[in-house]
Amino acid sequence: MTHIFNRLPSEYTDRLFCCYANKDRELLVARITNIPGWRLERVVFPGERFLFEAPSSAILEIHRNSPNGPTCSESLPCAYLNVAGFGKSSGAAAVSSVNVSSIPHRAVPPQTTLKI
C-alpha cells in the first residue's frame, strides 16, 4: 500500500477532517498536490474509506488506471469531503469514532461506525 504523507505545515490552521470512500471495484490513487509545501498520496482499495486531515482549500484528485496510463477522473474539494461535526477546531487526534453515515460523498451503508 502506497502512503506519502508529509506533515501539514503549521501555517495551515484551517484544517478539515475528511473521508473518501472507494465504492469502485478497482484500486484508486488519491492525491492532494495543490497545497504549496505539502503533498498527500495514497492507494485506496475497493471498499476502503480513506480518512485524512487537509487544509480547507485542498483538492483531492482521484486517479484511476486507463489504457493510456493513470488518469485523473475526479477532483473533489476537501470542504465537500469534510466529516460532519469536525473541522477547524477539531483535530483527528481528538476523534474516537466517526459515524460514516454523515459522509457526503459516495454514500456508505447507514448505521456504520468507523473506529479510528
Could you tell me the pTM of the whole model?
A: 0.68
| Arithmetic mean of pLDDT, 29-55 | 93
Q: Would you state the pLDDT for residue 60?
A: 97
Closest by CA position to 57, among listed 21, 11, 98: 11
| Arithmetic mean of pLDDT, 85-95 | 46
| Arithmetic mean of pLDDT, 29-35 | 94
CA atoms within 13 A on the CB side of 88: 4
Residue 35 — pLDDT band, cuts 50, 70, 90? very high
Dihedral-angle region of residue 69 (phi above 0 means left; psi in -120 to 50 means alpha; beta otherwise) = left
Q: Would you state the pLDDT for residue 61?
A: 96
Q: Would you state the pLDDT for residue 34?
A: 94
Q: Would you state the pLDDT for residue 5?
A: 58
Question: In this structure, what C-alpha cell is assigned to residue 110?
Answer: 447507514
Question: In this structure, what C-alpha cell is assigned to residue 8?
Answer: 501539514
Bridge partners of 40, per DSSP, are 5, 32
